[in-house]
Amino acid sequence: MVVLVDKFAGFCWGGVRAIDFAEKELQTSSKLYSLGDVIHNTAEVNRLAKLGLETITVEDFGKIPKGSKVLIRAHGEPPSTYKQAVAYGIELVDATCPVVTKVQERIKKFVDKNYQVVIFGKKDHAEVIGLRGVTSDKAIVILSLNEALEKVDLSKPTVLFSQTTMDKETFTIIASALRDKVKELVIGTIEDEAVDFHAKDTICGQVSGREKKLREFADSNDVVIFTAGKKSSNGKVLYAIAKEENANTFFVESKEEIDFSWFTGAETVGITGATSTPQWVMEEMKKVIEDHFKK
């Protein structure tokens, strides 16, 4: 039996950057706090915790020592977090993904122009909480075309943005429908110039580009192990895609969840994961499976 790790799986650039920030700070300090899990992967969070990274919330600002360093993860934070950090004498280590930062900046420009801001995304996702904060929580957050048609005031100048990790197909459907119904619609981009409907959206290319390669990988293996944190929004989406392509796709968060009966009769096993799945986790699972069948 051959066990392969998907070479296109693993951390997105923003996730790698946030972890690099954390590791660099922990080289000179025994303690660093993170606003929320630095990445939606339990194994990686536990690894960094052993180095001195502790997960907290904004509500904990008053409980940690003044002058503490707090990491803002790739998802970003609303403006209120920065204000509270100043009030509590906390030093922020800002690892917000530059793509997310650009989206926040673009949204702010449309808020200043009195546009109705619509965000395709999950209302309580960390990234969207930050985007909502830029609009003083006045943005309309939608997950479907029906929600868009119910909530959006079609008579107002409107700008449509997307959470960076959403699926492009649904976004395109929503954008097309709103273009036909909204009197003045702009599709939000991370670019500074004025844009029209055909301009590039704010869905991360590294995320949207994964689908085609993931389908090919899932289809080319008899069994697929998809590993990601249970909190990973991106993981849920990508797992569903792999499962759709290959019914013998199984979701596991840790190596302990592997059921070796899944591999009966399999000649090839593929291991893949989310943009928040560390490479070392996938390699570890590969070794566990190989070692089991060497016995």
- Residues with catalytic function: 127
Reported for 105-109, long-range contacts at CB under 8 A and 24+ positions apart, including other chains, are 106/161, 106/188, 106/189, 106/190, 106/191, 106/192, 106/202, 107/131, 107/134, 107/135, 107/139, 107/159, 107/161, 107/188, 108/134
Distances (CA, A) of 103 to 100, 126, 240: 5, 14, 27
Asked whether the CA dihedral 10, 14, 20, 23 is positive or negative, the reply is: negative
DSSP SS3 for 100 = helix
DSSP SS3 for 129 = helix
Q: Which amino acid is at 153?
A: D
Token pair belonging to 192: 């500074």
Q: Using CA atoms, how far apart are residues 157 and 34, in angstroms rounded to an integer?
A: 38
In sequence order, what are the beta bridge partners of 91? 69
Token pair belonging to 81: 């977090």
Closest alpha carbon to 60 in 39, 86, 88: 88
SS3 content of the chain, % helix, strand, coil (to 5): 45, 15, 35
In sequence order, what are the beta bridge partners of 71? 34, 93
Q: Which residues make Cβ contacts (< 8 Å) with residue 264, sequence separation at least 6?
A: none
Residues in the chain: 295
Q: Using CA atoms, how far apart are residues 76 and 78, in angstroms rounded to an integer?
A: 7
